[in-house]
């Protein structure tokens, strides 16, 4: 397990962890959940693939991290990589110093639910392991290469210059990983024009030219863009004043509706889970059928829109729980892109199973790939890179 990196993703009451080494089969991972409550526990998978569950009643983030780290210390990770949702204008993974911690704090208004939870984890691990290099890897960083005409909103300029109101984009580690992997498998690593569709509970698309993000569907927050599990994606921004004036709703209620009660769940009035909707649609549920149709149409429209920023289109990559598993959704989405020349190989498309990567086009037109995402692997790779740069810098002092 030499060269391993511990990847940590802290939420408000949970911590996901993964010890990432050279071989994916050796990965140790798990989740501390219900932190602060009497039923707080750690559930995970050990090196031999055995499931474990440890009760840690009332443990806070620091206590949970101490337990996780003490169980993993025999593997001597070389660094810790923290997933951080919002990095403001930071363009790459950064070694965690007091200055970078402050920058993550400054970006809190842009990710009020996520960044404070990440900071709790970062501060705890910095106290517990002061000698281990710690790196922050940002969901937003990959999209910092977008040109200004893609990231600016048509709003008064001071909102951008003084308050940072612009499009940032998210899921950057996933779009970066699958585009690099897909283009490498296609024999043109980080070259050419690619569209990526990360479709999970949260979903986003990205256009990548020569390995760099040139546009993406999410914006100032992860609400913009596609139809998601419970998020509406794009709506007319006047919906706020419409609902306030006509239904008397306040901002909190409107935000909650758009983030938690909309999307596939809102449209179907049934579920945010694509599997449930596909099954219900097969049984004749019309709301489920419409939810799937809106999802695929809006996804196709987003991909077509983002393609405007690609000089040529070499391929499209599907990933995330839906993108990796739902052959039906891939097929339906491509049917809404008839003039792009995609030729789907139906049999290959239907045969791909969870966790398998593969090409599903018929050998003509832009390539179509399914690539299982690996955000932890990408975070570990970037963390290792930053930690090694730091060691090199210290050695040459
Ligand atoms: P998250 O964004 O929370 O990481 P995932 O990437 O795991 O979520 O994606 C969850 C979504 O993937 C759910 O909508 C789920 O229904 C969908 N999904 C998983 N397996 C399948 C499948 N076999 N067919 C269709 N959808 C699937």
Tell how far the Cα of 356 is from the centroid of ligand 1, in angstroms.
15
State whether the Cα torsion 176-177-179-184 is positive or negative. positive
Mapped onto helix, strand or coil, the DSSP state of residue 85 is: coil
Each residue's pLDDT, cut to its tens digit, for the chain (397 residues) gives 568 999 999 988 999 999 999 888 889 999 999 999 999 999 999 888 889 999 999 999 999 999 998 888 888 899 999 999 999 989 999 999 999 999 999 999 888 888 999 999 999 899 888 889 999 999 999 999 999 999 999 999 999 999 999 999 999 999 999 999 999 999 999 999 999 999 999 999 999 999 999 999 999 999 999 999 999 999 999 999 999 999 999 999 999 999 999 999 999 999 999 999 999 999 999 999 999 999 999 999 999 999 999 999 999 999 999 999 999 999 999 999 999 999 999 999 999 877 799 999 999 999 999 999 999 999 999 999 999 988 888 888 7
Collapsed DSSP state (helix, strand, coil) of residue 19: strand
Tell which one of 322, 330, 371, 374 to mutate to probe ligand 1, the residue whose CB is within 8 A of the most ligand atoms: 322
Q: Which of 200, 271, 278, 375, when mutated, tests ligand 1's pocket best, judged by the most ligand atoms within 8 Å of its CB?
A: 200
Assigned CATH for 5-138: 3.30.420.40
Are both 5-138 and 187-375 of the same fold?
yes
Helix (H) or strand (E) holding 289: helix 286-306
User: How confident is the model at residue 24, as a pLDDT?
Assistant: 82
The atom of ligand 1 lying closest to the CA of 320 is 6
Q: 3-class SS at 247?
A: helix
Residues 6 or more apart from 170 whose CB is under 8 A from it? 85, 139, 140, 143, 202, 204, 216, 218, 222
CA distances from 29 to 44, 67, 277 (A): 6, 13, 30
272 CA closest ligand 1 atom index: 14
**Lookup: tokens for 108:** 């809190």
Tokens 């039906």 map to which residue?
Answer: 328
Which atom of ligand 1 approaches the CA of 276 most closely?
A: 16
**How far is the C-alpha of 207 from the C-alpha of 195, rounded, in Å?**
5
Alpha carbon distance 141, 17 (integer Å): 21
The set of protein residues with a Cβ atom below 6 angstroms from ligand 1 is 200-202, 229, 273-275, 278, 320-322, 325-326
**Predicted local distance difference test score (pLDDT) of residue 101:** 96
**83, 271, 274, 329, best to mutate for ligand 1 pocket (most atoms within 8 Å of CB):** 274
Q: Burial level of 61, CB count in 10 A (0-12/13-18/19+)?
A: buried
Superfamily of domain 187-375: ATPase, nucleotide binding domain (3.30.420.40)
Cα separation of 48 and 261, whole Å?
40
Note the residue count of the chain: 397
For the chain, domain boundaries? 5-138, 187-375
Q: From atom 13 of ligand 1, which residue's Cα is the shortest distance away?
A: 273
Q: What is the pLDDT of residue 82?
A: 97
Closest Cα to atom 4 of ligand 1: 200
Task: Return the residue whose CA atom lies nearest to atom 24 of ligand 1.
Answer: 326
Residue recorded with tokens 């070389």: 78
132 by Cβ neighbours in 10 Å (0-12 / 13-18 / 19+) ranks as middle
- Nearest atom of ligand 1 to the alpha carbon of 278: 25
Residues 6+ apart with CB under 8 A from 313: 193, 194, 195, 307, 340, 366
CA of 10 to the centre of ligand 1 (A): 21
Active site positions, annotated: 139
Phi-psi region of 34 (alpha: psi -120 to 50; beta: other; left: phi over 0): left
Report the distance separating Cα 149 and Cα 215, nearest Å: 10
Angle at 67 between CA 66 and CA 73, to 5 degrees: 80
Alpha helices in 107-196 (DSSP H): 115-128, 148-151, 157-161, 172-185
264 Cα–ligand 1 center, Å? 12
Q: Calculate how far, in angstroms, residue 202's C-alpha sits from the geometric centre of ligand 1.
A: 10
Measure CA 364 to chain center.
30
Pocket test for ligand 1, best of 9, 275, 276, 319 (most atoms within 8 A of CB): 275
Distance CA 364, CA 51 (A): 44
Q: How many CA atoms lie within 13 A of 16 on its CB side?
A: 9
Residue indicated by tokens 């889970």: 273
- Cα–ligand 1 centroid distance for 344 (angstroms): 22
Which atom of ligand 1 approaches the CA of 201 most closely? 2
Q: What distance in angstroms lies between residue 359's CA and the mean position of ligand 1's atoms?
A: 20
Residue 80: its pLDDT value, please?
A: 95
* Global pTM exceeds 0.85: yes
């Amino acid at each position: 397990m030499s060269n391993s990196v511990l990847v940590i993703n802290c939420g408000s009451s949970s911590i996901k962890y993964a010890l990432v080494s050279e071989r994916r089969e050796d990965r140790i991972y798990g989740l501390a959940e219900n932190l602060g409550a009497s039923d707080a526990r750690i559930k995970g998978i050990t090196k031999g693939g055995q499931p474990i569950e440890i009760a840690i009643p009332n443990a806070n983030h620091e206590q949970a991290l101490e337990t996780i780290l003490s169980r993993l210390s025999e593997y001597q990770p070389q660094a810790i990589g923290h997933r951080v949702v919002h990095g403001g204008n930071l363009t790459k993974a950064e070694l965690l110093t007091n200055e970078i911690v402050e920058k993550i704090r400054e970006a809190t208004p842009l990710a009020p639910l996520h960044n404070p939870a990440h900071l709790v984890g970062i501060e705890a691990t910095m106290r517990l392991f002061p000698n281990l290099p710690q790196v922050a890897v940002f969901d937003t960083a990959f999209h910092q290469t977008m040109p200004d005409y893609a990231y600016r909103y048509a709003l008064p300029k001071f909102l951008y210059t003084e308050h940072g109101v612009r499009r940032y984009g998210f899921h950057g580690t996933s779009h970066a990983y699958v585009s690099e992997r897909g283009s490498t498998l296609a024999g043109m690593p980080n070259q050419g024009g690619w569209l990526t569709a990360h479709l999970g509970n949260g979903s986003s698309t990205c256009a990548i030219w020569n390995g760099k993000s040139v546009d993406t569907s999410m914006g100032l927050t992860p609400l913009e863009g596609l139809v998601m599990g419970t998020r509406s994606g794009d709506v007319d921004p006047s919906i706020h004043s419409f609902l306030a004036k006509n239904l008397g709703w306040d901002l909190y209620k409107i935000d909650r509706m758009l983030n938690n009660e909309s999307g596939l769940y809102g449209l179907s009035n049934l579920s945010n889970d694509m599997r449930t909707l596909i099954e219900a649609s097969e049984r004749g549920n019309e709301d489920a059928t419409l939810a799937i149709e809106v999802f695929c149409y809006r996804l196709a429209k987003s991909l077509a829109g983002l393609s405007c920023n690609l000089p040529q289109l070499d391929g499209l990559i599907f990933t995330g729980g839906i993108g990796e598993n739902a052959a039906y959704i891939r097929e339906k989405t491509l049917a809404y892109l008839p003039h792009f020349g995609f030729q789907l190989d139906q049999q290959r498309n239907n045969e791909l199973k969870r966790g398998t990567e593969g090409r599903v086009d018929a050998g003509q037109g832009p390539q179509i790939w399914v690539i299982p995402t690996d955000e932890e692997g990408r975070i570990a790779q970037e963390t290792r890179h930053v930690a090694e740069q730091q060691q090199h810098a210290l050695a040459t002092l």
